[in-house]
Amino acid sequence: MVKKADRIWLDGELIPWDEANVHVLTHTLHYGLGAFEGIRAYQRSDGRTAIFRLHDHVRRLIDSARLMTMNVPFSHEQLYEACRDTVRANGQASAYLRPIIFVGDGAMGLYAIDNPIRVAVITWEWGAYLGDEALEHGIRGKISSFARNHPNSLLSKGKINGHYVNSILAKREAMAAGYQEAIMLDHNGLISEASGENIFIVKNGIVKTPSYSSSILGGITRDTVLKICEAEGIPYEFGSFARDELYLADECFCVGTAAEVTPIRECDDRTIGNGKRGEITSVIQSTYFDVVKGSDDRWPEWLDYV
């Protein structure tokens, strides 16, 4: 259960949590056309709260809406401030932020081009998405029987509400079979991403991840990890790979705002590497936590203090 906070930002105003309701004719509820973000605010070691890479998330949110031909009635700066204001109004030292742009009620049917475009920002406290144990010991993944959305069916660079039906089918299938995360293949049968995370493998000291131009979401954590690799002198490359390369990898991990940097210790009941959080994964994970909530200040532009 989401722990209720005091306020929700809705269409330009901070209103009481219980009053942030919508009509059942809300268009997005019926057809899934909407854009959203998942962002984290962490309390850093100096006690201050910083929202991680807020500008990048707001940029992707607006891009997602643009991909869906939705005209957002707020500017980048207004959405940026809305996120900061909501965390501040709720007095949260750390939080998960969920801005959402959705199509309100008015006309029904698919076209509904004149319906109001509405925006909300909700913030709540959320611990490790896949669990603290997962961060240390890794998770068991399963190649999904559900393929990632084809790039000519849906637009993977958008974080779009309706896209997540594909992810939920994969996630539920994996969980029902006793695994913690689904690893999805693209329309060519190559590794794409997990239900809500980007995927990395490590082989012979080289980090590898599918390229941005494949069917993945352009993850902000993925980009952070690549910058960490550069700074730490860890070589990396972009490339497509099939499941066998993942089975034979020395290390595997998934990354996302919610899941942070989580090792994948098994896939399809096959042990990856030595079945433990790998050496390179450990360096990347500990650096990541030091950047978002420790005292690593190498990227001050990523920290948006509340």
| Catalytically active residues, by annotation | 159
Residue 273 corresponds to which amino acid? G
How many CB atoms lie under 10 A from the CB of residue 299? 15
Pick the piece of the chain touching ligand PMP (CB under 6 A) from 15-23, 80-88, 120-128, 217-225. Answer: 217-225
Pick the piece of the chain touching ligand PMP (CB under 6 A) from 41-49, 79-87, 215-223, 286-294. Answer: 215-223
Q: If binding is defined by CB under 6 A, does position 209 make contact with ligand PMP?
A: no
Contact 72, 65 (CB under 8 A): yes
CB of 302 to ligand PMP, least distance (A): 12
CB of 221 to ligand PMP, least distance (A): 3
Burial (CB count <10 Å: 0-12, 13-18, 19+), residue 154: middle
For ligand PMP, give the closer residue by CB, 210 or 278: 210
Spatial separation of the C-alpha atoms in residues 238 and 224, rounded to whole Å: 15
Which of 256, 263, 273, 278 forms a contact with ligand PMP (CB under 6 A)?
A: 256
Q: If binding is defined by CB under 6 A, does position 257 make contact with ligand PMP?
A: yes
CB of 163 to ligand PMP, least distance (A): 7
Q: If binding is defined by CB under 6 A, does position 34 make contact with ligand PMP?
A: no
Residues 157-186 that bind ligand PMP (CB under 6 A): 159, 167
R_g of the chain, CA atoms, integer Å:
19
Residue 206 corresponds to which amino acid? I
Contact 11, 21 (CB under 8 A): no
Q: If binding is defined by CB under 6 A, does position 217 make contact with ligand PMP?
A: yes
Of 299, 263, 281, 259, the C-alpha closest to 40 is: 259
Reduced to 3 states (helix: H, G, I; strand: E, B; else coil), residue 164 is helix
Binding residues for ligand PMP, rule: CB under 6 A, are 38, 159, 167, 193, 196-198, 217, 219-222, 256-257
